Amino acid sequence: MAERRENKKSKGTSEKGAKTKAGTAPDRLRVLKTYKLYMGGAFPRSESGRSYPVTAADGTHLANASLASRKDARDAVAMARKAFGGWSGRTAYNRGQILYRIAEVMEGRRAQFVDQLVAAQGTDRAEAGRIVSAAVDRWVYYAGWTDKFAQVIGGANPVAGPYYNHSAPEPTGVVVVLAPRHAPLLGLTSVLAPVIATGNVAVVVASESVPLPAIDLSEVLATSDVPGGVVNVLTGKVGELGPHLAAHADVNALDLTGAGDLAVEFEESAATTLTRVSRPGPEAEGGEEAWLDTDPGTSRMTPFLETKTVWHPVGM
Amino acid sequence: MTFDYAPAPESRSVISLRQTYDLFVDGEFTPARSGEYLTSLNPADEQELARVAVAGEADVDRAIAAARRAQETVWGRMSGAERGKYLFRLARIIQERSRELAVLETLDNGKPIKETRDVDVPLVAAHFFYYAGWADKLAHAGFGPNPRPLGVAAQVIPWNFPLLMLAWKVAPALATGNTVVLKPAETTPLTALVFAEICQEADLPPGVVNILTGAGETGRALVEHSGADKVAFTGSTEVGRRIARAVAGTDKRLTLELGGKGANIVYDDAALDQAVEGVVSGIFFNQGHVCCAGSRLLLQESIAEEFLPRLKARIEKLRLGDPLDKNTDIGAINSAAQLERVRELTATADEEGVERWSAACELPETGYWFAPTVLTGVSQAHRVAREEIFGPVLSVLTFRTPEEAVAKANNTPYGLSAGVWTEKGSRMLWTAERLRAGVVWSNTFNKFDPTSPFGGYKESGYGREGGRHGLEAYLG
């Protein structure tokens, strides 16, 4: 495992993170979680067998995350593509129910997410609580959009002739989401929820330095009736996975929020197959607090929608 | 007893061509810095129509600067209502000069006068009229309470619908308060230059519309210019990719309307006579020089035997010849280069063992012509089923089930248009829902309207032109 580095501190192994003193054992050994990828509804390790250490803001070792490979990325795209027909074919009402269910399940695991943010970013508990609340509410927000955006964006066109003519938005397909680098939960939710609310399927590359909340969120998705493959979460290096995903011919759109300095290179690669590109916005490099806007409107949905216009003659 | 058509040519006397045309920059016609000219031919007889200036980088600089000045000092500051009135005025002058524009377009492009007179030019006027009305209502268009123009738009358009593509680009850009630098196609620059005269006639402030003629290099210099805030391109997917790559890493917004390989699905319960008409107009309208052409006919196997003879009989009746003749259905191929491409791609069908049939029509001795052609026994692997021919060539494939029809229709990197022919409403909607294409014509084909958004999925490009949706590309 060439990617592994030496850690300054060792793994916390007992309750409340207390360190084991030499020659003593904790009353109860804490059960640690193995963080894996989320692909096709399952939690596999990287096919490469690689992992990388994830540390807290202060350098404490938190866990080992799977270091996804290019092959994992390819597999994730294939799984997403397979899920696209079913997910986009669901009724808008049903997608809304499922997104609301995500909020419900997440609400029940608030403490887990708060702990995760406190541990990962050194956020204070009250602030972490506000971020988790905002993330739960973001799912509720988009749950409500699923059966409304088509009416807001589409409509009847009054053509000058005897024709019924109507335009409606449709999901573009497989969307690669390079998640915000410094906003691992609310930021991630803010970019992911609009993608699946509109019937797209997603391959997410989680924040490289703070990937664990994305896997916690995957566990919520896996238990919220989101069909397998609709969201696939890879942890690893944007610099390794990004070039491959940006140039992938079966990817329809790219959200470059977490691309950092590589955004231009990825946009150039995307041009080869006319992949739709959403460039990093002003909040891209911010922390969770940059994502607090409670009403982002349709701005994060329209980049991943196509407009289909259907004509039919009117006559007897 | 047969009745022959007597020639019925439209008069050329409505146009007065100049020998040379210069660039239209900052409200005036001025020569290109290089002093270079190219020649625009009539593809129907290969006669020279006019010489047209070739803009270089210095001219692009000048035009962008003029557009910027006009945007910042006049056009961007003007009230929407006043801007709209200029657009209404342009629409009216286009209507008044419609016959002149139709004849000129036919001469420069080679398409039948029937089409320029009844389709292209009326749609051009309608497009300006439609967007004129948006200029003072942008806050109600659903793009926020205070939508702002982007600035200067660099626009490059193709030769298949020269003036109509100009209208699709210029009208929404101006209505939203942007100014434009537009490059018409190398082989069809003339109606754009008459449009420049119309801008003068309408007293449009100098610099709001700038027209730069030239070839690919001019277009490249224009879309890559750092002073452009917006790039809009209609043309080949190949050039579209290059533009998308060039725009990466800039703040420029981009819309692309690229190639297509449209499927026209005919189910066994379709009204066959109507379907035959629709399939014919779907591929032979404008000599098949249409990005959204129905170039792949998907025929349900059970009716193939009955349908194909009817289709061929109808194609035999198409009249190919003088584009200015009011009875002409099929005009000239736009250029020698395009004719070569159509011939070359169609020849691959012969090599790959596809059965080829062409209408028995006499081709004129001068000019660029290609007889309406039907290819049968085509499979999805054949080049003629995959690549855009952009000519009067129809590839015929068959299918057994609706699922197979949809799978075959979608089996292309393109996604611009598709057609469905069936008398059963639920089947029509089921099919339309599954087709990955920006426009689906059911029981009709190749219909266009300024209120109706147009644009593709996948490698047919991104963004929409037309309708409320068409405003988005020009607002920030």
pLDDT digits (tens, 9 = 90+) for A284-316: 999 999 999 999 999 999 999 999 999 999 998
Mean local confidence (pLDDT), B298-302? 98
Q: Is B291 a known active-site residue? A: yes
Assess whether pLDDT exceeds 60 at residue B200.
yes
- Chain B partners within 8 Å of A167 (Cβ): 452-453, 467, 469
| Chain A residue whose CA is closest to B418 | A310
Across the interface, whether the CB atoms of A311 and B447 are under 8 A apart is answered: yes
What is the pLDDT, as a whole number, of residue A57?
Answer: 85
Rounded-to-integer distance, Cα B343 and Cα B320, Å = 17
Assess whether pLDDT exceeds 50 at residue B457.
yes
Q: Give the closest residue to B279 by CA, choosing from B434, B392, B116, B371.
A: B392
Restricting to B residues 442-461, those with a Cβ less than 8 Å away from any Cβ of A are: 442-444, 447, 449, 451-455, 457-461
Query: Are A227 and A89 within 8 A, CB to CB?
Result: no
Give residue-wise pLDDT tens across range B31-70: 999 999 999 999 999 999 999 999 999 999 999 999 999 9
- Which ipTM was obtained for this model? 0.96
What is the pLDDT, as a whole number, of residue A16?
Answer: 47
Kind and range of the H or E element at A213?
Answer: helix A212-222
Question: How sure is the predictor about A226, in pLDDT bands with cuts at 50, 70 and 90?
Answer: very high
Of residues B224, B291, B388, B465, which has the active-site annotation?
Answer: B291
Q: What percent of chain A has pLDDT over 90?
A: 91
B20-21: strand order across its sheet: B20-21, B47-53, B37-42
Question: How sure is the predictor about A20, in pLDDT bands with cuts at 50, 70 and 90?
Answer: low
Distance between alpha carbon B358 and the CA centroid of its chain, in Å?
25
Across the interface, whether the CB atoms of A310 and B461 are under 8 A apart is answered: no
Q: Could you give the residue range(s) of every CATH 3.40.309.10 domain in chain B?
A: 263-442
What is the pLDDT, as a whole number, of residue A71?
Answer: 98
> Interhelix angle for B98-109 vs B80-96, to 10°?
70
Assess whether pLDDT exceeds 70 at residue B476.
yes
Residue A215 lies in a domain: yes
* Domain count for chain A: 1
Rounded-to-integer distance, Cα B279 and Cα B284, Å = 8
Residue A167 lies in a domain: yes
Across the interface, whether the CB atoms of B457 and A160 are under 8 A apart is answered: no
Higher pLDDT, A16 or A89: A89
Residue A231 lies in a domain: yes
Across the interface, whether the CB atoms of A161 and B248 are under 8 A apart is answered: no
Mean local confidence (pLDDT), A134-153? 98
What is the pLDDT, as a whole number, of residue B307?
Answer: 98
Of residues B10, B115, B224, B257, which has the active-site annotation?
Answer: B257
Output the pTM of the full model: 0.95
Name the CATH code of domain B12-258+458-474 (choices 3.40.50.720, 2.40.50.140, 3.40.50.1820, 3.40.605.10): 3.40.605.10
Assess whether pLDDT exceeds 80 at residue B1.
no
Q: Which domain holds residue A96?
A: 70-291+298-313
Give residue-wise pLDDT tens across range B140-169: 999 999 999 999 999 999 999 999 999 999
- From the list B248, B437, B451, the residue facing A157 with the nearest CB is B451
Q: Is B404 a known active-site residue? A: no
Assess whether pLDDT exceeds 70 at residue A22.
no
Residue A21 lies in a domain: no
What is the pLDDT, as a whole number, of residue A316?
Answer: 83
> Angle at the Cα of A244 (from A61 to B407), degrees rounded to 5?
125
Mean local confidence (pLDDT), B365-389? 97
Across the interface, whether the CB atoms of B437 and A276 are under 8 A apart is answered: no
How many Å lie between the alpha carbon of B231 and the closest alpha carbon of chain A? 14
Residue A63 lies in a domain: no
Query: Are B30 and B38 within 8 A, CB to CB?
Result: no
- Chain A partners within 8 Å of B244 (Cβ): 267, 270-271, 274
Residue A42 lies in a domain: no
Q: What percent of chain B has pLDDT over 90?
A: 99
- Most A CBs within 10 Å, among B124, B274, B403, B451, to test the A interface: B451
Q: Could you give the residue range(s) of every CATH 3.40.605.10 domain in chain B?
A: 12-258+458-474
B263-442 carries CATH number 3.40.309.10: yes
CATH of the domain at A212: 3.40.605.10
Rounded-to-integer distance, Cα A117 and Cα B65, Å = 51
What is the pLDDT, as a whole number, of residue A25?
Answer: 86
What is the pLDDT, as a whole number, of residue B243?
Answer: 98
Question: How sure is the predictor about A110, in pLDDT bands with cuts at 50, 70 and 90?
Answer: very high
Give the ranges where B331-470 is alpha helix by DSSP (H). 336-351, 383-386, 402-410, 425-434
Assess whether pLDDT exceeds 60 at residue B196.
yes
What is the pLDDT, as a whole number, of residue A6?
Answer: 43
Rounded-to-integer distance, Cα A94 and Cα A106, Å = 18
Mean local confidence (pLDDT), B286-303? 97
Taking residue B460's Cβ as centre, other Cβ atoms within 10 Å add up to: 30
